Structure formats: structure tokens, C-alpha cells
Structure 1
Amino acid sequence: MKNTSTYGKNILLNFEPYGIRIHLMMYGSIRFEEEFSKPEGRIRLILDFESGRMVVYNAPIVEVDFLEKIEERLSKELGIDPFRNWDEEKLFSMLIENGDRVIGEVLLDQSVFAGIGNILRNEILFRSGIRPDRMISEIPEEKLKLLIRITKRLSEDFLDSKLRGRGIKSLLRVYNSKYCKRCGAKINFCRDEFTGRKTFFCPNCQS
């Protein structure tokens, strides 16, 4: 294997000229084992290396094709990725085009913000001072531009903290909180009845 990369929430393994695309969705996992152990679920992929074995469990998407073709398909499906094709001006234009939608919904739309998950969405909105149920057309342009900058910076902070083995708990300001760490107000909480995603926001710090 030459290298690995990501595109949105997809993991790409480069076996040039071939590639493997993995999407873990909500329930998939990857384990690295020195020897075969008891399966943790449905095995979707096993790769044997000199240093050990990589096992992919429960991943809904495991695709093998020419890497160039995989990346081409993803580029048509996905929007702006903080680590691959970042473009603040284009992203701002896409937000304006989605003015009739609420910002919390659009942040999770992978055809706009590629790779943004629910925890990151909550933290981006808190740091931007924007309620998740706010219509994009009602948000001042400067706040939208601030949200875009924060999306890039916080995505990098999350990744850096994970790579250093620290996790993201120390970066959380609103997610799973009962009270606002900035003003002390009680955090508003709701759960999407269809997806189960949790939303947290401060009624004072976000408007």
C-alpha cells in the first residue's frame, strides 16, 4: 500500500493504480491485529501486511476500483473538503445558494460540507455564535464567512488532536454539555427523531 487519504468521510487506500474506498458510516470500525482474533462483527475486508492484519468490520461501503475513478466519482458527489479542495469563496457561494435551508442541516450535507460530522457541526455553530435552526438567508454575510473559517480551523484541530492520541474531549465547548462554558446558561438539547443525531446550543451565545 502506497498511502492512505480521506475524501469527506471516505477512507481511501492507495494500491496504485488501484484503490479501496471504505465508508464506516455509523457502525463500521477498523482494527489492526498482529494475529487473527475473534470477529467483532461482519467482516467486510481483510488486508495482510508484514506488520500485521487490518480488518474492516460492518462497513456499509467497501469499493475496489482504479483510484482515479474512485476519486473522480467522489468529486462529483461531495462538496468542499477541509483537507482536500478547500475553497472559501466557493463555499460561501454555495451557502448563499442554500439560503432557504437551515444552517444546521446544511453543515451535515456532504454535497456542501464534505466530511463534517454531527459533533463538529455543534462545535462549529457554537463558536460561530449561530443557532442550528437559523435560516441561512437570515444570517449576516460576515457571520457566514466566520463560520467557514471556523470550519477549516476546527476540522484541523480535531484531526490533530486525534492523531496525537488525545481524542477530542478537550475541544468540546457545547456538545454533551448541560451548561454553557462561556456564559453559564442552560444548554438547549434536542434529538432528531429520524437520525438520532443530537443538537446542543446556548440560547444566549447563539442567535
Structure 2
Amino acid sequence: MPEGHTLHRLARRHERRLAGAVVRVSSPQGKFAAGAARVDGRTLLRSQAWGKHLLHEYEGELFVHIHLGLYGTFIESGLPMPEPVGQVRMRMYGSGRDGSGFGTDLRGPTACEVLAPPEMAALVARLGPDPLRSDADPDRAWVRISRSRRSIGSLLMDQSVIAGVGNVYRAEVLFRHGISPSRAGTGIGRDEWSALWADLAGLMRVGVRRGKMHVVRPEHDHGAPSYAADRPRTYVYRRAGEPCRRCAAPVRHSVLEGRNLFWCAGCQPG
């Protein structure tokens, strides 16, 4: 599932290419036909992300809410767009401020729906602070974490606690700070949380800027390759059984709440 930086990168691209333009919206697949008709021909005012949610705001106080889930993806093209191929949930296109045409097809999302302001407010209220948003308040997450006996590994993946963190950032930021994923939230010190938040924000900003994650510090950015040819080199994520890049202890693996968990017992005792 795409992590928060991917959605912020998409939001910025859609904002840059289509904000201020009259946008044509359709649903070749038909599943979003009624929602598409509500926003088709309206001006796109803003595109933003909140955690793993992409939000397009149209004139008339209408919001298209998209959650990519495991399989959702946008495929871009110039204008005129070719005939739709496959199951296209939403097609949107228009001419941006620079006059260039831009179109994109959305396939396979978990959610694609039109929300009114009260529904939009309810969605945002369910989400924790997003490290990539300028209005994020890390103290909101700290209050939840410091009072919880759930593991920090579980809390970091809870989108109502902190929005946008996925499995890779969870594993890597805990490794970078030497924190066992099994440590209870009540066992995380305030200074530790401040450092975790700052590091997450920094790592995720790199992801937005580069279009891919970069989580390994320069002094460790060598040796074993990444777990797949098109994926980032990591400390522990998807490296079960391999030697830790810092201490050479084997990377551990377990399953926590249905998600794979990776850590180094040598560098993250507990």
C-alpha cells in the first residue's frame, strides 16, 4: 500500500497541473458514474493529501476522496486521451494554468467517492496528524501514544494516531532510533517521540521530493542491495534473516496485527 509521501506527491502534481482549471470527470467503468457527474465540468480549486487519503476540492464545496489501497494507481497521459483500457474507475482531464493538457486514469482504488463538507470534516477528524502537513500537531499523537499500552509498532501504523506512516517507514524509523517495535507506548519518552516525529517528517519529505524512499544513512548506504530491484535499500524492512547493516545480527521477522514486522534484536533491544 502506498505510504503518505506517495499521496502528497500525487496531490502536488494534480494541484500543479489542474488547480484553477475546469476539469472533465467521468467513470468509464461505471462504478463512480454518479459521483463523476456531480463534479464534471467544475473548477478544481485544490488538491491535497492527508495521510494516505487524496482529496480533490471542487467549486461548490464538493470533495473527491480517493484511497488507493493495495492496488489503486493513476496512469497519466496527454490530451487527447486515448480510449480507456481496463477498469478505469475515474478519468479526469483539463488544461492547467500553463495551457498544457493533462489527463489521468484512476484504476483499482479502495475508495473513490464525492464528499460534502460535513463528510469531509468527519474523515479528517478520524485521522491523526500527518508529518507532511504544515498544520500537523505532533502533540496530538503524543497524547495517544503516551497513554497507550499498545506497542509502538502497532501505534505507528494506526492512522487515527498518526496519518501516512506505513510498514516501511514504521520499521525503518524505529530501527534508526534503536526502539523495539514491541515497546509499549507508555514506555516511549517525550524526547524519543520528538526525535521520532522529526525523523519521520524528514524522511517523508525526502520521499516527496525524490519520488522514492531513502531511509539508510550515508555511512550505511552500501553492502547488501535492496530487497527488490526497484525498491529502496533498507535497514530491516524485507531483510528477515540477513545481517543487520550496523551490528551484523540477523534481522528478525514476525506478524503484528496482520502486517509483517521487521527489526534487529541487537540494535533494538526490548
| Shorter-chain TM-score tier | 0.7 to 0.9
Q: TM-score, normalised by structure 1?
A: 0.84
1:180 to 237, 241, 244: 244
Residues 1:88 and 2:150 are matched in the alignment:
no
5+ residue gaps, structure 1? none
| RMSD over equivalenced CA pairs, Å | 2.2
What corresponds to 1:45 in structure 2? 90
Asked if the contact 1:102/1:134 (under 8 Å) is kept, the reply is: yes
Aligned equivalents of 1:43 and 1:138: distance in 2? 46
Counterpart of 2:94, as a letter, is F
**Correspondence for 1:97:** 147
**Over alpha carbons, which structure has the higher Rg?**
2
The CA deviation string for residues 149-174 of structure 1, in whole angstroms up to 9 with x for no partner, is: 22222222222221xxx554456332
Distance, in Å, in 2 between the alignment partners of 1:73 and 1:171 is 37
Gaps of 5+ in 2: 1-43, 96-100, 215-230
- The 8 Å contact of residues 21 and 70 in structure 1, kept in 2 or not, is answered as no
The number of residue pairs the alignment matches comes to 199
Alpha-carbon separation, structure 1, partners of 2:119 and 2:74: 20
Cα distance in 2 for residues equivalent to 1:80 and 1:204: 31
> What secondary structure sits across from 1:2 in the alignment?
strand
5 Å matches for 1:24-43?
Answer: 24-34=68-78, 35-36=81-82, 39-40=85-86, 42-43=87-88
Partner amino acid, structure 1, of 2:180: R
- C-alpha contact (below 8 Å) 2:67/2:111 kept by paired residues: yes
**2:92 match: secondary structure:** strand
| Alignment match, 2:62 | 18
Paired residues for 1:6-155 under 5 Å: 6-16=49-59, 17-34=61-78, 35-36=81-82, 39-40=85-86, 42-50=87-95, 51-66=101-116, 68-84=117-133, 85-98=135-148, 100-155=149-204
With normalisation by structure 2, the TM-score equals 0.66
Q: Name the % identity.
A: 27
